[in-house]
Structure 1
């Protein structure tokens, strides 16, 4: 088993930042698929052994970046709340829209390649937010299972509509889009069918 360096060690923090900065500058220049560990270490001016002391491969480095960048978005944009209101949902959708917009703008060459990798990572983060907002009402295993199903549905909905909004050229302003979409996610199929009628 490979031992990882302590992440609180200032030297470790510096090295990880060097690797991440090198990786992100490469992502801005070319597709993720053609970036190699050698490219990253060369750009960061570290050796390959140093890279592998921190990450098992470039996919783990990408996942670390996605989790960190998304958590930063959340901390900066979302107030602490213990319930899921419509306004809370609107904010989550807006954050997701902004996240997609930033990723596709800054990492244009890699965006389409990393979307599948992005999906699972971001879904886990969104599921965690939803469960945190509603876990206080859960007492039994059956309730926990239903909460997890609901968290999966909501996280996929938020991620999916924001990705579609971005990929279709952001034809509606993000704020208006989030306000329109939130009730469909929050109130479910009966609401959707009622409001889709001509």
Structure 2
């Protein structure tokens, strides 16, 4: 596959950043192409060269950021020292670093009704990593628990803690948050379903 024109990459980065900047003052439903192009410093014609309409743009950007988030925070480690069996962990230090750089996106994901389908995407991807994490061990306990129960707890707990952290001015360092949230996610329930080492801190 050929390389993407650097001008295309640059324009899409500008529009993505404009989207994130506008989320500071607007809901998804209030977003419009004029504001996006003005914020990005590109013309409407340029916008339509890359995206069919506003809805396509929002869908693409939301999905891209969720994908980028997981690419950034997931780390694969050997299962019981076997390099042929690699399982994912979520490094919480990276979670708070990523959220700290784009807090408006995650606040939108947590609180807006219009973001429900993307919250579901975020949740479903998390569950896929959970199943992959327990794949080589005993996956039965986690599968016995209703997906909605464990996913809702994890998504709203993680995003809710991050939201409060941002609102309070990020007064605690990423590492401090990661270390303590990792401890919170080591309850009896997590041990029972084999997820006590799914959320980790860089120090571990």
Deviation at 1:58, TM superposition (A): 3.3
Q: Looking at secondary structure, tell me which structure has more helix per residue.
A: 1
- What TM-score do you get using the length of structure 2 for normalisation? 0.59
Q: Report the equivalent of 2:200.
A: none
- The verdict on how the C-alpha distance between 1:64 and 1:180 changes in structure 2, with shifts beyond 3 A counting, is closer
Deviations 1:7-60 (A, max 9, x none): x5645896476334323235325635443235556826526365129x852330
Alignment of 1:49-198 (within 5 A): 50-52=50-52, 56-74=55-73, 78-81=74-77, 92-104=91-103, 112-113=107-108, 115-116=110-111, 117=115, 119-137=119-137, 144-146=143-145, 148=147, 151-152=150-151, 153-188=153-188
Structure 2 CA distance for partners of 1:26 and 1:79, relative to 1, 3 Å: closer
Shift of 1:97: 1.4
**What residue number does 2:14 align with?**
21
Q: Could you tell me which residue of structure 2 aligns to residue 5 of structure 1?
A: none
User: Displacement of 1:82 after TM fit?
Assistant: 5.6
Question: Paired residue for 2:83?
Answer: none
Relative to the length of structure 1, the TM-score reads 0.60
Structure 2 gap segments, 5+ residues each: 80-87, 192-204
Describe the superposition over 1:134-169 as per-residue Cα deviations: whole angstroms up to 9, x where unpaired.
1234566x8634273575133443333233222222
Distance 1:133 1:36, change over 3 A: same
What are the ranges of 5 or more consecutive residues in structure 1 without an aligned counterpart?
Answer: 1-7, 192-198
How many pairs does the alignment contain?
Answer: 170
- The answer as to whether partners of 2:51 and 2:57 remain within 8 angstroms in 1 is no
Conserved in 2, the CA contact under 8 Å of 1:97 and 1:174? yes
Whole-Å separation in 1 of the counterparts to 2:163 and 2:173? 14
**RMSD of the alignment, in Å?**
4.1
The structure where strand makes up a greater share of residues is 2
Q: State whether residues 131 and 147 of structure 1, in contact with CA within 8 Å, keep that contact through their aligned partners in structure 2.
A: no
Structure 1 pair 129–166 and aligned structure 2 pair: CA distance change class (3 A): farther
**Shift in CA distance, 27/184, structure 1 to aligned 2, threshold 3 Å:** closer
